[in-house]
Amino acid sequence: MTIILASLLAIGVIVFILAVRTKDLPEPEPVSPFHYLDERKAAIYENLRDLQFEYRVGKLSDQDYQQTKLDLQRELAGVMAEIDRVKAEIAAGRIPMPAKEPVKPAVQPSSSKFVCPSCKAEFAQPLKFCGECGKPMKAAQA
């Protein structure tokens, strides 16, 4: 039992390191397992929001939308389960408690984002109309 858990943990660490490498995240060292999982969770939420917008403006078919949404929700469920698993590991004392880190806002201001002047919603790409409030957005502000 302990061996299985230890090897699962080892696999998790390897996958984690590989994921960080391939994604080329700005921070070279992971702060804690939660930090990484929170980032993935935030990324999935952002993808869901983008997806919903593209569907609303008619860029996606019903089928594509439902399929991609299912995939994202499945991925999200996996991340949530992973968070629960890490919490359980910590509660059981199998892995050390990560150092407390300040709670960061989920949405970080970035120069590559396009912000709606009406409701301040942020989008990764320039849009004619805001996906949140539907008001016109100026595509090129830079």
- Least CB distance from residue 118 to Zn ion, whole Å? 4
* Of the candidate residues 11, 133, 136, 139, the single one contacting Zn ion (CB under 5 A): 133
Tell me the two tokens of residue 35: 């930090």
Q: Is residue 86 at the binding interface for Zn ion, with CB under 5 A as the rule?
A: no
Q: Is residue 25 at the binding interface for Zn ion, with CB under 5 A as the rule?
A: no
Q: Is residue 50 at the binding interface for Zn ion, with CB under 5 A as the rule?
A: no
Q: Is residue 54 at the binding interface for Zn ion, with CB under 5 A as the rule?
A: no
Distance from chain centroid for Cα 40:
3
Amino acid identity of residue 19, one-letter, is A
SS (H, E, C) 28-77: CCCCCHHHHHHHHHHHHHHHHHHHHHHHHCCCCCHHHHHHHHHHHHHHHH
Site for Zn ion in 89-118 (CB under 5 A): 116, 118
Tell me the two tokens of residue 8: 């699962």
Q: Is residue 132 at the binding interface for Zn ion, with CB under 5 A as the rule?
A: yes
- Least CB distance from residue 131 to Zn ion, whole Å? 8
Q: Which residues bind Zn ion (CB under 5 A)?
A: 116, 118-119, 121, 130, 132-133
